[in-house]
Amino acid sequence: MPDGPRWFEQAPPQPTPLRSRARPDLPDDLWIKCPECGTVHYKDDLARVLQVCPQCKHHLKIGSRERLDLVVDPDSFVELDGQIAPMDPLGFVDSKPYHERLASTQRKLGRKDAYIGGRATIEGIPVQIGTFEFAFLGGSMGSVVGEAITRQLERAIEAREAAVIISASGGARMQEGVLSLMQMAKTCGALARLRDDAKKPYISVLTHPTTGGVAASFAMLGDVILAEPNALIGFAGPRVIEQTIGQSLPPGFQTSEYLLAHGLVDRIVQRKDLRSEIANCLRLLGE
């Protein structure tokens, strides 16, 4: 056999790794996958439709500032009480110390805690309004969140203005123990004064998720309760409830649609319609 290239003895050429061929200046967060239907969307396209999936109409989570921009009149929001910072009264430690968890979250988000409140107008109507930042420890309610909400309601009483709270929370913050739980009674007391003394309305907006001590207190006490589509709303999780009562739960249990059918919310509102819907409610209630 004549000498020649020994093709069968040569190792095949190794493919260039895809990572080395990728553009180094190409961002890795250009696409967002809908958690409901799995459709992948270009990030900017999804932003233009208010983070609502065009395929299945699922409302994706948004930040507190984005949510306020959707609801209040442009350039009308003035934040108040943003300087209040939480403490670590129990020296709580789980997988890491509570004070370290707070510090890292504050650095990441540039916020002291999970609630942003202040004054604004909605279609020209002055209101005291606030919402949760779910990215801050799951939007949990500790002593600072309870204090900020109470101050918001007290300002509404003093100014004789309506109050609006948009909830997105995992509930009371366990790291602060009873100091967190007492915020449920504290905020409800302030709401009673708004209703009885100032005779002003309170609009509660429930988004995904609204659970735990937040759902068990001010979130479900609105003169009008609005909800985004398919939001999880309830006190305990479905698995805990099933284990407690020893029964399977009905389909759609703890969703906005289920609560609407059983009279626990007044209306389900698409995100794009929320500003006008709140304004209409305020006008009907005398604002």
pTM score of the predicted model: 0.87
pLDDT score, position 23: 53
Torsion of CA 14, 19, 23, 28, to 10 degrees: 160
**Model confidence pLDDT, tens digit, residues 174-205:** 999 999 999 999 999 999 999 999 999 999 99
Which segments of the chain have a pLDDT < 50? 20-22, 26
CA dist 145 and 172 (Å) reads: 10
Structure tokens of 249?
């739960």
> pLDDT digits over 138-173, tens only?
999 999 999 999 999 999 999 999 999 999 999 999
Question: What's the pLDDT score for residue 21?
Answer: 46
What pLDDT, on the 0 to 100 scale, is given for residue 272?
95
**For the chain, domain boundaries:** 27-59, 61-284
pLDDT at position 230: 94
Write out the CATH class of domain 61-284.
alpha beta
Residue-level pLDDT at 192: 97
